[in-house]
Structures are given as structure tokens and as C-alpha cells.
Amino acid sequence: MRTFANEIRDGLDQALSDDPSVLVFGLGVPDPKGVFGTTLDLQEKYGEKRVFDMPTSENAMTGIAIGAALGGFKPVLTHQRLDFALLSMDQLVNNAAKWHFMFGGQRNVPITIRMILGRGRGQGPPHSQNQQSWFAHNPGLKVVMPALASDAKGLLLASIFDPNPVIFLEHRWLHNAQTEEATDMPIPLGEAKLLREGDAVTVVSVSYMTIEALHAVDVLKEQGISCDLIDLRTVTPIDWAKIETSVKKTGKLLMLDTGFKSFGIAGEILAHVTESCWSSLQLPPARLTAPDYSESTSPALTKDYHVRAEHIAAKIGEMTDKPVSIEPILNQRGAAHDVPGTWFTGPF
Amino acid sequence: MTPELAKTLSHGMRRIRTVEETIAARYSEQEMRCPTHLSSGQEAVPAAISAVLRPTDLAVSGHRAHAHYLAKGGSLKAMIAEIYGRVTGCARGKGGSMHLIDEAVGFMGSTAIVGGTVPVGVGLGYSLMLKGTDDIACIFLGDAVVETGAFYESLNFAILKNLPVLFICENNFYSVYSPLSVRQSHIKAIHEKVAGFGITTQDGDGNDAASAHEIITKTVADIRAGKGPAFLEFSTFRFREHCGPNYDDDLGYRPDQFIEGWNAREPIRQFETRAIEDGFLTLAGIDQMQEEIENEVKAAFDFARASDFPPAGEASQHIFANQMKGSWK
Ligand SMILES: Cc1ncc(C[n+]2csc(CCOP(=O)(O)OP(=O)(O)O)c2C)c(N)n1
Ligand SMILES: [Mg+2]
């Protein structure tokens, strides 16, 4: 068994080994915890010039990554939370996203920015933001959001060797997810993955939401409701073809996102499907997302904050006008509501 | 030194230590469900500041803020309740350990993003300048903060406008597990780099409450007298892991010699030993003080644990304000 975190680490290891122009840096990269285990031993293996810690200078270090990329390297910059990377929006949006465009296509910027998405156990407002839509909104940035441990390495390799800036978003609750199959091959960016097949509803999801969706869809299947479940894997570029094909079959779309509801990627997908699949739609497309307010620190205020499998199952029941039982989902749950499982003991 | 000051400093340090160590002892009960950065070992500077600042002075801090909040006079009960996620917490459970606030005593807020409150503190200094009082704004920062762009931009503005701002850098030589050596050039010490901007700077022993108090007293008097901002760097040592209740020196990221050297200069024992020798404190007096502190801390934990959690509906509140508060004139 391999974990999502193992797969990320091996992806970095493979990239560093295959290509001497790959660099890996970020706060805590060579420290004893190695960014939740994702960078362990890489400095010992590849040396301090290619794998290094950095000052708490997120914006400048992003610009430095851009410069190194223009100088022929492929930097992978890691942030332990997306929230810290917000300091680098200037370099990401004004430089990285636009360099190729504003210099008439002369140079590309092959940087990969790993950002970890927090949730639960007291993370609080500025350690739990899922701001994928900020990045996806910017032409010139690719946004990758792996869900399955088996996809983590392939998507990371594709991101590192993509000629463009890629924002690689790892949900903290996925780091301990397990897989038996692992691939050494890059997974092309822009290809969603159909994880379950059915004709009741098209469920599209990203990142950690896909794990909740898998629970819901599998439980509903036993109750006679079969859904298509599409894991987006990359937000931009997005696999519209797979989504449209499915919606044309089911006539019903449920989009799941970890981010705030308004002006988010779920809204964009609903709008696109409304435009492109209007005549196939039997129902208004629906979405389940985080609400339009920040996640509080107190566990009392996070109980109903997140969308979980039971909410997804109930929503699908509503959309198919069929009775569903969420008992089997609730019965499977062992850990407190604010942790992904008993493996998570915090603090981050 | 006077008996009163010795008592104030000893009490200030012991109070912070007792609070932090009580949190550490109870953290494994899993009732304090938020990341918590303890200040054990770093009590001397906050205790010294506490003895110099007044309630109308303003202060801001970062993720490791318990000591600063308490030093500024922040409500202990409200802080513990905040860490327990209760509605009686200083931020009604919204923010947790890293988001402390008690405006009644001038503690204007601590936040979790490194460097995030430095410009805010300078802005508070600007507001004090406009109001024309002789209050000051105090900005608590760690050694990693001087790696952020916002720090230098803020410093420049504070100097440009000659603002009543005190930057207090507690240099504990580490940012999480990362030593200064992988983050900053060693050619100049932090206060020397900052001095290059043309601001008054001084460095001091952050484990020596008496000398820290002297330095801070003089510096604050100068700021109040209109001499402009100042930057103080105090070296110190955090006892426990970066975040959480445990010791983590088994990981080996801090050299043994470094740890032993600092442990020998533990701030409370060091201060009290000298104060007793000099006749400013007595053992009996210290014991009595400690007992009072323990009662106060116990009462704060009892209060927090007996407090209600916020009602679920509060999760979606406080997005926008519908009322102007704290406006000048
Ligand atoms: C912008 C940003 N980057 C990274 C972090 C993660 N982080 C939290 S505390 C911390 C260490 C800060 O070190 P220092 O300022 O020396 O304070 P200390 O913890 O030593 O008191 C880091 C890097 C953060 N909160 N914000
Ligand atoms: Mg430090």
C-alpha cells in the first residue's frame, strides 16, 4: 500500500532523478517532517543546490522560481498551506501567468507551485482556504487538483514537465489516502477520469470532494441509483467533453467543490453545462460546495460546514426523486467530524 | 530594580509560564482543538514589556501570541475560552489560539500569517500620530518575519513618517524546524540589517528580564518623546515544539549544545535567583505568588470548560459589519 503523500514524494524523486533541471524548494522541505512526508530525504539524495529550505518570503521566492525557470530550470515550489501562497499572487498573476502572453510567446514559464489545502481541527480562517477559483480565473495558469492517491504522482509529473505555470493543489485530508496501483507515467493535464458509471445523475467533483462522492455513489448504487462520477483532476484545462457527454446521457448535473460557493469553479461548470447541454437538461444543474463564509476554528462551528457523503447522497435522492438511506454512510464513520480519520492528530 | 518591579517581572513571567504549561498538560485531552504555539521559555521580554506599556498603547502579534496578549493585559479567561472554542472566547471561538484580541487593553489582534500584522501595527502607529497622543504601537515579531517583504515595506514607512512604533523581535533562532542559517545571511545580525534603514535599534538578552526591562523602558520613553520608531532584537529560546504541547528535541534539529546553553539560562530561575540575592524577592513571597497564579489559571480553565460553545448559527455570522465602530471623533 502506498499513500498519497508517498506518491507525491516519489513523483518529486523521479522528476529530480530524470531531469537535472528540476529544483524543489519551500519552507520546511528538508526538515525532519518533510512537508507531511512529501519531501523526505530528497535533499540528502539530490543535494542542497537542487533541494532547499527558503526564507519566509513567498512572493519573492515565487519570482525567483520564475527567474530560475527562465534560466532553464524547472522549479517546484511548495507551500504548506495555500493561504501562505496568497502572498505570492503578484508574481503568479502578473508575471508567471502572463510571461508567455505579454512577450508574444517567446518564453514559457515551467514552474509548479504545490499548495496544500487545509480543513478541520482548528485550522481556522487563514489555514483552510480552498481558493482554486482565484487561480483558475487567470488565463495562463493551469490548476491541478488530484483526488486519488493513484493519480497523485502522474499528475505531479505532468505538472512539473508542463511548459506552463501549474498550481498543484493537494488537500491535506488526502495525504493518507491509500492506493495499490501506482504509475510512473505522467497523466496528461486536462483529462478527467470517469470513476463510476451510471445514468441517474452526472456527479462532477474535485480533490477531496471526490472521496466523499465515491462513498455516496457506491452506497446509492446498492440502493439502485447509479451515477456517473467524474473526477476532474485538472480544473484548467478542463475536460468539457467528458462532462458534456455524461450530462447528455443523464440530463442531470451535480457539481461538488471544496471552495466557497459564489463565483467559484462549481458556478463556472454549471454555467458551461447550461450553455452547452441546455436541451439535454432535465433539471437545473446543482452544486454542493463550501458555504459563502470562512471556516471557523471552534469545532462547534464546523460541524455543518463541509459537504459530506450523506449530503451528496441526499441531494442525488432529491434530484432523482427516489428515497435514499444515508444510514450506511453514517455507520461507516468512525472519526470526529473535524478530522479525516484517526491518523490525523494535527496540528496542521 | 525595586521590590515592586522584581515582583511585577517575576509575576509576569510565572503567569505566562503557568498558563502555557497548563495548556501543554491538558492539550492531550483533545478539547483544545486548534493549533497552539506556546511561549514557554520566552516569558522575559513579554513580562518586561508588560511593565512598561500602558493600556492605551496598542499591540499586535502573530501566531505565537499568548504571552503578548497576556502581557498587554488581555483577559486570561477569554483567551483560554478561545482556545477551547467557546462563545466566551475573545473571538467567540471563531479564531482560536492564533487569533487573540482584547481591544479594551489595546491588544488589537494577532493573526496566523507570518508578517501579517506588521503593516497593521504601523498603521495603528499612524493613527496614534494623527491623534497626537504619546501612546505607542508595539509590534511583536519572530525572526522569520524579517524575511517578509511586508516587514521592510512597513519599516520604511514607519521611518518615513517618524511613527511611534516599537518593533520587538524575539529571535529564537528557528522558524518551525528551520534554523536561521538556511533562511538569512549570517553576515549581519537582524538588528544590524534593520539599522541600515536608519532606525534606532538595539539587541538584548531575551532571557534576562531585568536588562530587557531597562532597554524597553528607555526605548519606549524615546518613542513617546517623538524620536520615532525603534527596533529591538532579543535573543531567546522556545522550550517546546514549534506548535503543540510536546518537546521535540528528539528530532535533532537543534544542536544539543544550543539546547543545554539556553536551558542553563532559563529566564525565571535566572531572574529570581538574582532578585533573592539582592533582597528584592523572597522565596516565601514567590511561593505565595505562584499559588495565586495557579488559582487564577485554574479559574480560567474552569470558566472556559464551563462555557457554552457558540450556537451553530454563528458560523455564518460576522461576514460584514453593519455598524461603524471605533471611529475617531
Ligand atoms: C506567510 C506564511 N508563511 C509560512 C507560514 C507557516 N509558519 C507558521 S509559524 C512559522 C514560523 C515563524 O517563525 P518565527 O517568526 O521565527 O516565529 P516563532 O515560531 O519562532 O515564534 C511559519 C513558517 C505562515 N504562517 N505564514
Ligand atoms: Mg523564530
d(CA B142, CA B234): 10
Of A31, A83, A346, the CB nearest to B177: A31
Residue from A298, A302, A342, A344 whose CB has the most chain B CBs within 10 Å, to mutate: A298
pLDDT band of residue A182 (cuts 50, 70, 90) is: confident
List pLDDT tens digits, range B17-32.
999 999 999 999 999 9
Compute, in angstroms, the gap from residue B155 CA to the centroid of ligand 1.
Answer: 19
Contact A348 B35 (CB under 8 A): yes
Is residue B184 less than 8 Å (CB to CB) from chain A? yes
pLDDT for residue B254 is more than 90: yes
> DSSP characters for A302-335?
TTTTS--HHHHHHHHHHHHT-----HHHHHH--S
pLDDT band of residue B128 (cuts 50, 70, 90) is: very high
A58 is known as an active-site residue = yes
pLDDT band of residue A333 (cuts 50, 70, 90) is: confident
The pLDDT value given to residue B144 = 98
Contact B252 A301 (CB under 8 A): no
**Could you tell me which residues come within 8 angstroms of residue B306 by beta carbon, excluding any fewer than 6 positions away?**
none
Mean pLDDT, rounded, of chain B: 98
Beta-strand pair B174-175/B178-179: antiparallel
Is residue B306 less than 8 Å (CB to CB) from chain A? no
| Mean pLDDT, rounded, for A193-219 | 98
The pLDDT value given to residue A342 = 87
Nearest of A112, A131, A122 to residue B95 by alpha carbon:
A122
pLDDT band of residue A346 (cuts 50, 70, 90) is: confident
* Lowest-confidence pick of A68-77, A336-345, B21-30, B118-127: A336-345
Instruction: Verify whether ligand 1 is closer than 6 Å to residue A115 (CB atom).
Output: no
pLDDT for residue B69 is more than 90: yes
Instruction: Verify whether ligand 1 is closer than 6 Å to residue B145 (CB atom).
Output: yes
pLDDT for residue A197 is more than 90: yes
**Could you tell me which residues come within 8 angstroms of residue B201 by beta carbon, excluding any fewer than 6 positions away?**
B191, B192, B194, B195, B230, B231, B232, B233
| Mean pLDDT, rounded, for A22-39 | 98
Alpha helical stretches, state H, chain A: 4-18, 34-37, 42-46, 58-70, 82-85, 89, 99-102, 132-136, 149-160, 207-222, 240-250, 265-276, 309-320, 327-332
Contact list, B252 vs chain A (CB under 8 Å): 32
Q: Are A339 and A120 in contact (CB under 8 A)?
A: yes
Burial class (CB in 10 A: 0-12, 13-18, 19+), B1: middle
| Mean pLDDT, rounded, for A51-72 | 98
Give me the residue label for grid cell 443523464: A250
The pLDDT value given to residue B229 = 98
Do the two domains A2-179 and A193-332 of this chain adopt the same fold? yes
List pLDDT tens digits, range A127-177.
999 999 999 999 999 999 999 999 999 999 999 999 999 999 999 999 999
Q: Are A108 and A74 in contact (CB under 8 A)?
A: no
| Mean pLDDT, rounded, for A225-229 | 98
d(CA A290, CA A306): 6
Distances (CA, A) of B315 to B33, B85, B94, B173: 16, 12, 8, 38
**C-alpha neighbours within 13 Å on the C-beta side of residue B56:** 9
Of A54, A55, A303, the CB nearest to B312: A303
The pLDDT value given to residue A185 = 96
List pLDDT tens digits, range B221-244.
999 999 999 999 999 999 999 999
Chain A: give the shortest CA distance to residue B123, in Å: 19
Contact list, B96 vs chain A (CB under 8 Å): 122, 124, 297-298
- Would you tell me the crossing angle of helices A265-276 and A240-250 to the nearest 10 degrees? 60
Question: Above pLDDT 70, what percent of chain A?
Answer: 100
d(CA B205, CA B261): 13
Beta-strand pair A228-231/A202-205: parallel
- From the list A127, A175, A215, A306, the catalytic residue is A127
One-letter amino acid of A134: W
Contact B99 A297 (CB under 8 A): yes
The pLDDT value given to residue A181 = 87
Compute, in angstroms, the gap from residue B144 CA to the centroid of ligand 1.
Answer: 6
Determine if the pTM surpasses 0.95: yes
Of A59, A292, A300, the CB nearest to B149: A59
> DSSP characters for B138-188?
EEEEETTGGGSHHHHHHHHHHHHTT--EEEEEEE-SEETTEEGGGTS-SSS
List pLDDT tens digits, range A233-245.
999 999 999 999 9
CATH for A2-179, options being 3.10.129.10, 3.40.50.970, 3.40.50.12140, 3.20.20.70: 3.40.50.970
The pLDDT value given to residue A133 = 98
Distances (CA, A) of B40 to A246, B207, B267: 58, 11, 10
Burial class (CB in 10 A: 0-12, 13-18, 19+), B117: buried
pLDDT for residue A334 is more than 90: no
pLDDT for residue A345 is more than 90: no
CA-CA-CA-CA torsion sign (A253, A294, A37, A35): positive
**C-alpha neighbours within 13 Å on the C-beta side of residue B239:** 19
Burial class (CB in 10 A: 0-12, 13-18, 19+), A25: buried
CATH number of A193-332: 3.40.50.920
Every domain of chain A and the residues it spans: 2-179, 193-332
Which domains does chain B possess?
A: 3-328 (3.40.50.970)
pLDDT band of residue A109 (cuts 50, 70, 90) is: very high
Total Cβ atoms within 10 A of residue A92: 27
Q: ipTM above 0.85? A: yes
The pLDDT value given to residue A277 = 98
Contact list, B309 vs chain A (CB under 8 Å): 298-301
d(CA B319, CA B322): 10
- From the list A7, A44, A48, A58, the catalytic residue is A58
A181 is known as an active-site residue = no
Mean pLDDT, rounded, of chain A: 97
Atom of ligand 1 nearest to the CA of A126: 25
List pLDDT tens digits, range A247-285.
999 999 999 999 999 999 999 999 999 999 999 999 999
Atom of ligand 1 nearest to the CA of B176: 11
